[in-house]
Amino acid sequence: MRILVQESPFDFAAEAEAFAKGRADLGAVVTFTGQVRDSGGLARMEIEHYPGMTEKALRGIAEEARSRWSLGEVLVIHRHGRLLPGERIMMVATAARHRRDAFEAAEFLMDYLKSRAPFWKKEHFAEGAAWVEAKDEDEDALTRW
């Protein structure tokens, strides 16, 4: 299990290349990455987090995924600080014997990262800034697990 919380960019290609490399027992690898979306006029995004709790929460979510699905490897990387539109915010990767476990666990990780990991996004525009509000559907997404 590899959990990284960092301000600096991460090398998606290198992480994906190294993840579960050579593991003949793991037939399925899923990677997901999230990027800063600009729905119009976004200058930058600031991501605040709760140092200490963030790492614990991510580890807890990843451990929960391992207890629910048969996973060989799990990777979670999440950035904080200042990001520009199009920059990669985070990635998750899961590796399992079969693809169903890998896909479902990756979706589970994403759903929980959205509303159970202590990050807060603030969008900055030319004319001001606004905190991104949590969506009801993000909370609802947890009920399916």
Partner 1 sequence: MDVLYFAWLRERIGAPKDRIETEAATVNELVEELRAREERYALAFADLSALRVALDQELADFDAPLAGVREVAFFPPMTGG
30 counts as binding partner 1 under rule CB under 8 A: no
Residue selected from 9, 41, 52, 81 as contacting partner 1 according to rule CB under 8 A:
52
Q: Name the residue nearer to partner 1 (CB basis): 101 or 111.
A: 111
139 counts as binding partner 1 under rule CB under 8 A: yes
Cα separations in angstroms, 56 against 68, 78, 93, 101, 134 = 18, 13, 18, 23, 21
44 counts as binding partner 1 under rule CB under 8 A: no
- Stretch binding partner 1 (CB under 8 A), from 11-19, 35-43, 53-61, 67-75: 53-61
In whole angstroms, the minimum distance from the beta carbon of 94 to partner 1 comes to 15
User: Residue 101: which of 69, 133, 77, 56 has the closest Cα?
Assistant: 69
C-alpha gyration radius of the chain: 16
78 counts as binding partner 1 under rule CB under 8 A: yes
CA distance 105 to 30: 9
Strands of the sheet with 81-83, listed across from one edge: 81-83, 42-49, 119-125, 128-131
Residue selected from 1, 18, 53, 142 as contacting partner 1 according to rule CB under 8 A:
53
Q: Name the residue nearer to partner 1 (CB basis): 20 or 117.
A: 117
**74 burial level (CB within 10 Å; 0-12, 13-18, 19+):** buried
CA distance 5 to 83: 14
**Count residues contacting partner 1 (CB under 8 A)?**
26
- Positions in the binding site for partner 1 (CB under 8 A): 34, 48, 50, 52-53, 56-57, 78, 89-90, 110, 113-122, 131-134, 139
